[in-house]
């Protein structure tokens, strides 16, 4: 029968071959419609031969498919190989012919099996396209994630090559019909785009400045000091962008397209000041020409549009001022989100104290022997500390005394804070009195009192706090947190007192201004009246006074801007001086006086300074806060700040490398960078408040600045809406700003916050529950393990009691069913424990063996004799279907 | 730019770019070459088989003060003895770079701390780590106690040793891991 089939098969084959040639001719005609598809398919056989491992699945499928058709028709195995090959060939050819082949096959009813299989193949290839597509996608994904795989570089390169080749080969093939060219084009563009993106990324990393400087600092001082410099660099980047915004949208248009200097009063130095306007001392206080330059608010003109471009400067001024806040907020929050994603969540600090100490305390950045020594020492101490902590849970000797001391310390610090606040208020008030006097009769100190006192407070108070904190006797880490909090409070208090004092001044100035304004208006009216009555005409020519002589108001905005700029500059001076004196001079003295001194200066009392991370970070944050506040009134402040950050980067890098020593004990205040960011966010918010307040409520000066002549600053926006935008947008905005709409919106937001809060609480709850569960599971496991150990021991004892039986029998029985015999024998001695039961139940296929021929082995020897070659009878017992047909 | 082209072919460059975690390829190459200018050719287009011995790798300023430098070199070298080819070298610094993802870093950190290469961090590994970290200044009892504590904290399945999963579970929560487990080059 088999032979007949073989013959039949061969006949069919030859028939088919003949047909194929015919089909080929037919195909020529049909080629035009099916060309894309055919080409796509013709490509497929190639990988089957070349990339074997890639195509294993496909090949397997196809082979099973062909074999399914064939095994029914023939069973001789010696022919199988050749048939298989030819079949495959055929199969692939058939596939290339696609529908043409199947069409003709309907006529061919001689060999139903084969046609069946062919149909199947056809369908399969349809599915295969899908599969192939999937594979290509997979490969692409693989390429994208390759760098995250923990493989060796060589392996990664090889895999990458393979994957790329694969993708290249099949990507083109997958497109169908006329869309194929477009598809190929798309692919090409995508590739180009990816390459461009990569190059751009490279360019970006190449542009990051100070990489080497920071690396140097890192290797000397470890990651904590370096984190300050990273923060500084980030800050510099942020400020550069803000500077670009301010400069490009406000300063540059006014300078390039606005009226030149000297054309209108606000851009001219008044006659009275002109003599001293170029004096260095005046310029240094930002008076004279500096006061009437583009650095400050007052310089900007209130023309609606400037230049040929019709640039709306006032609007741009307002939007940029507000936009700077918006952009900063966005960047800070985004940075925070990224940090919190990257850094560990650290939710449960107590859980892994020792593990973290063990595995993350070494700083891989360290590349300096001295720092390494310090690190070793600090790690050792920290281990010892936590061991001690672990061993004795905090013994409290005199808790009352300590409590008293802590309260006392806090009281003293509160006094300090209050005192410093009052001092600042007092000084600002006094400076207002001074301002009314003739500036030439004042000394330098009297002029710069406010800045001087503020800087001095910032300099003196932190060490004072530190000294007071000695009383409290906290753990260093907690002490550091307190210290940070107190310094923060100090700075914040000072800043806000300064602000309130400034507002007083602003109010006074506004009164002045009102008087001036009334006087001017009155004078104008007089002039008009006189002129018209004198010349008897209503056509009055405008008054022609040189801009330097025009009477003008005090322009409080510029005054505020000057205050902030002065504050920033004096802050820079104080910082640099502190570094020079406190760090550099100290280092020089210690280093060179050590040769002729009675004790060891380097190891003893003065020693070298350590880099004060927290102080520096706080200083930077508050400086930034001042910039944010002041930039609205002094657009040039941004430039000053960029310069400041630039110089301080170089200067501090130099100072830290030349005159500081690595920390002996480093206690990080925060879990991650997010601490700094949170501070920054807080300060940003706090500096946002006064600016927004002044924009929304204070009337701008009548004769200076881009908003002069308007009631409120934001009127610019309203004006633009009503005059430049189409009416319906104005309508929409009026509706949107209707209280009836805003109230529900706020309500909605509150609800959303409430909802999200609840959800997050729920997640937290679930989290802790899961943690608890895990802990419980762990404990249970532990207990079980312990119990099991003991039962095992018991069982072993029991086994020992039955020596011969248990040793002999397994040998007899184990050979035929390999792993299966051992357990029943264990059962036999087993009056065993609970655990044994479990083990038996785990080995599920087991029971059938011993039951079916339970008594058998007791007969022993015959089974053993049969053991080496399992006879057919034994094989029948196991349900293995495959081998018999082969035979 | 011109230099770059002559060291690697464009394709090689491309491939490295995709595979690597960060992109200062030429700089890394020169660092590698500076270790032994007489051994490393300037032309890598034919992929010459050059390896630098551990003594040279370990003497790099980035590594020479690191107590785990030998382990690092061993883990990243293909032969497991610290002799590194350029590929291994790139591998090492790409894993230790800032851009490498946390899981990858955790994987290699695990390898580094697994001194006896048995894919588990057992007590002896912990003791070795601790002694390297503290320069053997803790007493034996203290070492033992710390190791027990670590096991107690991090060993989730209670098999007396830390598997990769245990280690990852523990390390991804560590606040300092990412900031300290990297080398800037």
- Whether A367 contacts chain B with CB within 8 A: yes
Cβ within 8 Å, pair A672-B107: no
pTM of the model: 0.67
The Cα of B183 is separated from the nearest Cα of chain A by a number of Å equal to: 5
Contact criterion met (CB below 8 Å) for A553 and A517: yes
pLDDT at A334 over 80: yes
Model confidence at B87, pLDDT cuts 50, 70, 90, reads confident
What pLDDT sits at residue A47? 39
**Mean pLDDT of the region A367-391:** 77
Q: Which residue of B has its CA nearest to A146?
A: B19
Show Cβ contacts of residue A114 under 8 Å, excluding neighbours closer than 6 positions.
A9, A12, A16, A69, A73
pLDDT at A26 over 50: no
Cβ within 8 Å, pair A360-B181: yes
Cα A26 to Cα A20, A23, A38, A177, A236: the distances in Å are 9, 5, 14, 20, 73
Model confidence at A331, pLDDT cuts 50, 70, 90, reads very high
**For chain B, which residues make up each domain, given as ranges?**
11-96, 102-181
Q: How far is residue A59's CA from residue A70's CA, in Å, rounded to a whole number? A: 16
Of B153, B170, B178, which has the smallest distance from its Cβ to A342's Cβ? B178
Residue B126: its chain A contacts at CB < 8 A? 358
Cβ within 8 Å, pair B183-A365: yes
pLDDT at A861 over 60: no
| Residue pLDDT, tens place only, A186-242 | 878 888 888 888 788 778 777 788 887 887 887 778 777 888 888 899 999 999 999
DSSP A596: G
| Residue pLDDT, tens place only, A737-774 | 888 888 999 999 999 999 999 999 999 999 889 888 88
Residue A214: its chain B contacts at CB < 8 A? 184
| Residue pLDDT, tens place only, A530-564 | 888 877 777 777 777 777 777 778 888 898 899 89
| Residue pLDDT, tens place only, A601-616 | 777 777 788 888 778 8
Q: Is the pLDDT higher at A40 or at A776?
A: A776
Helix (H) or strand (E) holding B117: none
- So what's the architecture of B102-181 in CATH? Orthogonal Bundle (1.10)
CATH topology of B11-96 equal to that of B102-181? Answer: yes
| Residue pLDDT, tens place only, A357-369 | 788 878 887 777 7
What pLDDT sits at residue A38? 39
What pLDDT sits at residue A443? 75
With pLDDT > 90 as the criterion, what percentage of chain A qualifies?
A: 11
Token pair recorded at residue A34: 């099916």
The Cα of B34 is separated from the nearest Cα of chain A by a number of Å equal to: 17
| Residue pLDDT, tens place only, B63-79 | 888 888 888 888 888 77
**Mean pLDDT of the region A320-345:** 83
Q: Residue A362: helix, strand or coil by DSSP? A: coil
Q: Which residue of B has its CA nearest to A344?
A: B173
Contact criterion met (CB below 8 Å) for A745 and B118: no
Show Cβ contacts of residue A63 under 8 Å, excluding neighbours closer than 6 positions.
A84, A88
Q: How far is residue A119's CA from residue A112's CA, in Å, rounded to a whole number? A: 11
What pLDDT sits at residue A651? 93
Q: Choose the weakest-confidence range: A131-135, A149-153, A882-886.
A: A882-886
Residue A364: its chain B contacts at CB < 8 A? 66, 96, 180-183
Helix (H) or strand (E) holding B21: none
CA atoms within 13 A on the CB side of A704: 28
Cβ within 8 Å, pair B179-A223: yes
What pLDDT sits at residue B6? 55
What pLDDT sits at residue A534? 79
The Cα of A503 is separated from the nearest Cα of chain B by a number of Å equal to: 43
The Cα of A359 is separated from the nearest Cα of chain B by a number of Å equal to: 8
Reference A342, options A679, A681, A673, A670; nearest CA is: A673
Please state the ipTM of this predicted complex.
Answer: 0.84
Residue A671: its chain B contacts at CB < 8 A? 175
Token pair recorded at residue A563: 């205050």
Residue A367: its chain B contacts at CB < 8 A? 61-65
Q: Choose the weakest-confidence range: A387-391, A413-417, A559-563, A845-849.
A: A845-849
Of B138, B172, B180, which has the smallest distance from its Cβ to A380's Cβ? B138
The Cα of B63 is separated from the nearest Cα of chain A by a number of Å equal to: 7
| Residue pLDDT, tens place only, A245-286 | 999 999 998 888 888 887 888 888 888 888 887 888 788 888
Of A214, A354, A361, which has the smallest distance from its Cβ to B149's Cβ? A354
Q: A164, A205, A354: which to substitute to probe chain B, counting the most B Cβ within 10 Å? A: A354
Model confidence at A126, pLDDT cuts 50, 70, 90, reads low
CATH of domain B11-96: 1.10.238.10
- Whether A161 contacts chain B with CB within 8 A: yes
| Residue pLDDT, tens place only, A404-433 | 888 888 899 899 888 988 888 888 788 778
Cβ within 8 Å, pair A344-B175: yes
Of A153, A342, A355, which has the smallest distance from its Cβ to B154's Cβ? A355
- Whether A204 contacts chain B with CB within 8 A: no
| Residue pLDDT, tens place only, B20-49 | 555 567 777 888 888 888 877 777 777 677
The helix-helix angle for A556-578 and A449-469 (nearest 10°) equals 50
Cβ within 8 Å, pair B19-A146: yes
Q: Is the pLDDT higher at B160 or at A299?
A: A299
| Residue pLDDT, tens place only, A790-827 | 555 566 666 666 655 444 444 444 444 444 444 444 44
pLDDT at A46 over 60: no
Residue B78: its chain A contacts at CB < 8 A? 152, 154
Residue A358: its chain B contacts at CB < 8 A? 126, 129-130, 133, 146, 150
What pLDDT sits at residue A745? 92
What pLDDT sits at residue A247? 92
pLDDT at A866 over 60: no
Q: Is the pLDDT higher at A30 or at B102?
A: B102
- Whether A534 contacts chain B with CB within 8 A: no
Q: How far is residue A136's CA from residue A187's CA, in Å, rounded to a whole number? A: 12
pLDDT at A36 over 70: no
Residues of A (52-91) whose Cβ lies below 8 Å from B: none
The Cα of B37 is separated from the nearest Cα of chain A by a number of Å equal to: 22
What pLDDT sits at residue A181? 73
Q: Is the pLDDT higher at B60 or at A80?
A: B60
Cβ within 8 Å, pair A781-B157: yes
What pLDDT sits at residue A4? 55
Cβ within 8 Å, pair A356-B176: yes
Model confidence at A350, pLDDT cuts 50, 70, 90, reads low
Pairing relationship of beta strands A609-610 and A660-661 according to DSSP bridges: parallel
| Residue pLDDT, tens place only, A510-532 | 888 888 888 888 888 888 888 88
Model confidence at A325, pLDDT cuts 50, 70, 90, reads very high
Cβ within 8 Å, pair A157-B138: no
Mean pLDDT of chain A: 72
Integer-rounded Cα Rg, in Å, for chain A is 43
- Whether A383 contacts chain B with CB within 8 A: yes
């Amino acid at each position: 029968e088999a032979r007949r089939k073989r013959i039949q098969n061969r006949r069919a084959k030859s028939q088919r071959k003949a047909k194929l040639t015919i089909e080929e001719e037919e195909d020529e005609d049909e080629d035009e419609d099916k060309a894309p598809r055919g080409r796509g398919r013709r490509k497929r056989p190639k990988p089957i031969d070349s990339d074997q491992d890639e195509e294993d699945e496909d090949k397997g499928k196809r082979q099973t498919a062909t074999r399914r058709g064939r095994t029914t028709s023939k069973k001789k195995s010696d022919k199988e190989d050749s048939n298989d090959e030819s079949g495959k060939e055929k199969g692939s050819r058939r596939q290339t012919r696609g529908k043409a082949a199947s069409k003709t096959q309907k006529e061919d009813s001689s060999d139903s099996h084969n046609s069946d299989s062919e149909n199947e193949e056809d369908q399969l290839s349809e599915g295969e396209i899908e599969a192939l597509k999937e594979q290509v996608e997979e490969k692409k994904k693989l390429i994208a994630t390759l760098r995250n795989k923990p493989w060796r570089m060589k392996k990664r390169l090889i895999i990458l090559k393979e994957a790329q080749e694969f993708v290249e080969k099949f990507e083109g093939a997958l497109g169908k019909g006329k869309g194929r060219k477009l598809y190929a084009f798309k692919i090409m563009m995508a590739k180009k785009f990816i390459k461009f993106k990569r190059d751009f990324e490279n360019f970006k990393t190449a542009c990051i400045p100070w990489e080497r400087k920071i690396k140097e600092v890192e290797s000397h001082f470890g990651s904590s000091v370096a984190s300050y410099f990273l923060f500084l660099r980030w800050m510099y980047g942020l400020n550069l962008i803000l500077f670009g915004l301010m400069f490009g949208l406000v300063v540059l248009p006014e300078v390039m397209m606005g009226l030149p200097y000297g054309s209108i009063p606000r851009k001219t130095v008044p006659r009275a000041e002109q003599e001293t306007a170029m004096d260095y001392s005046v310029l240094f206080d930002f008076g004279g020409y500096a006061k009437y330059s583009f650095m400050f608010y007052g310089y900007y003109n209130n023309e609606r549009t400037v230049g040929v471009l019709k640039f709306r400067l006032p609007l741009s001024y307002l939007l940029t001022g507000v936009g700077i806040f918006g952009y900063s907020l966005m960047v800070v929050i985004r940075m925070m989100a990224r940090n919190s994603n990257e850094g560990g969540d650290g939710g449960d600090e107590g859980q892994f104290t020792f593990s973290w100490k063990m595995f993350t305390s070494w700083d891989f950045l360290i590349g300096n022997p001295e720092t390494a020594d310090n690190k070793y020492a600090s790690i050792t101490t920290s281990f010892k500390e936590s061991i001690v902590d672990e061993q004795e849970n905090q013994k409290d000797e005199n808790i009352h005394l300590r409590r008293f001391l802590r309260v006392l310390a806090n009281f003293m610090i509160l006094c300090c804070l209050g005192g410093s606040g009052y001092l600042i208020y007092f000084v600002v008030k006094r400076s207002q009195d001074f301002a009314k006097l003739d500036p030439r009769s004042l000394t330098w100190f009297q002029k710069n009192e406010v800045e001087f006192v503020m800087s001095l407070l910032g300099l003196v108070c932190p060490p004072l706090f530190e000294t007071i904190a000695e009383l409290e006797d906290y753990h260093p880490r907690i002490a550091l947190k307190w210290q940070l909090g107190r310094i923060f409070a100090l700075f914040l208090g000072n800043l806000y007192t300064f602000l309130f004092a400034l507002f007083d001044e602003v109010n006074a100035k506004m009164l002045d201004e009102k008087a001036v304004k009334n006087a001017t208006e009155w004078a104008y009216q007089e002039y008009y009246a006189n002129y018209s009555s004198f010349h008897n005409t209503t056509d009055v020519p405008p008054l022609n006074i040189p801009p330097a002589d025009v009477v003008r108001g005090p322009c409080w905005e510029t005054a505020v801007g000057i205050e902030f700029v002065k504050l920033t500059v004096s802050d820079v001076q104080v910082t640099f001086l502190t570094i020079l004196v406190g760090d550099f001079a100290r280092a020089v003295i210690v280093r060179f006086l050590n040769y002729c001194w009675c004790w060891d200066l380097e190891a003893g009392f003065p020693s070298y300074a350590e880099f004060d991370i927290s102080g520096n970070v706080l200083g930077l944050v508050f400086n930034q806060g001042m910039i944010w506040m002041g930039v609205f009134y002094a657009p040039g402040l941004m430039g000053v700040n960029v310069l400041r950050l630039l110089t301080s980067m170089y200067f501090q890098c130099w100072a830290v490398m030349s005159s500081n020593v690595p920390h002996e004990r480093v206690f990080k205040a925060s879990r991650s960078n997010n601490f700094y960011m949170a501070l920054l966010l807080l300060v940003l918010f706090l500096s946002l408040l006064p600016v927004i307040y002044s924009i929304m409520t204070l009337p701008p000066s009548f004769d200076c600045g881009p908003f002069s002549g308007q009631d409120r600053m934001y009127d610019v926006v309203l004006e633009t809406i009503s005059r430049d935008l189409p009416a319906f947008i104005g309508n929409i905005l009026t509706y949107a700003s209707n209280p009836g709409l805003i109230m529900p919106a706020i309500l909605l937001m509150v609800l959303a916050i409430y909802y999200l809060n609840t959800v997050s609480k729920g997640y937290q709850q679930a989290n802790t529950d899961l943690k608890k569960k895990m802990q419980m599971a762990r404990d249970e496991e532990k207990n079980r393990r312990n119990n099991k150990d003991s039962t095992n021991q018991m069982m072993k004892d029991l086994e020992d009691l039955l020596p011969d039986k248990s040793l002999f029998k397994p040998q007899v029985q184990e050979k035929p069913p390999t792993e299966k015999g051992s357990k029943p024998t264990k059962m036999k001695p087993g009056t065993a424990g609970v655990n044994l039961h479990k083990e038996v139940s785990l080995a599920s296929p087991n029971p059938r063996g011993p039951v079916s021929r339970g008594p058998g082995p007791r007969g022993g020897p015959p089974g053993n004799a049969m053991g080496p070659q399992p006879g057919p009878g034994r094989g029948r017992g196991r349900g293995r279907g495959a081998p018999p047909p082969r035979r | 730019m011109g230099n770059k082209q002559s060291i690697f072919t464009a394709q090689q460059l491309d491939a490295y770019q995709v595979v690597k975690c960060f992109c200062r390829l030429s700089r890394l190459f020169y660092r590698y070459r500076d270790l032994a200018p007489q051994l490393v050719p300037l032309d890598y287009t034919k992929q010459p088989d050059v390896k630098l011995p551990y003594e040279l790798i370990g003497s790099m300023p980035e590594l020479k003060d690191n107590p785990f430098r030998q382990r690092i070199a061993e883990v990243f070298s293909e032969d497991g003895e610290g002799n590194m080819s350029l590929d291994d070298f790139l591998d090492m610094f790409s894993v230790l770079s800032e851009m490498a993802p946390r899981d990858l870093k955790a994987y290699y950190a695990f390898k580094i701390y697994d001194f006896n290469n048995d894919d588990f961090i057992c007590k002896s590994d912990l003791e070795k780590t601790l002694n390297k970290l503290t320069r053997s200044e803790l007493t034996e009892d203290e070492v033992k106690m710390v190791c027990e504590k670590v096991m107690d904290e991090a060993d989730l399945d209670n098999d007396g040793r830390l598997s990769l999963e245990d280690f990852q579970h523990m390390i991804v929560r560590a606040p300092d891991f990412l900031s300290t487990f990297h080398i800037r080059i």
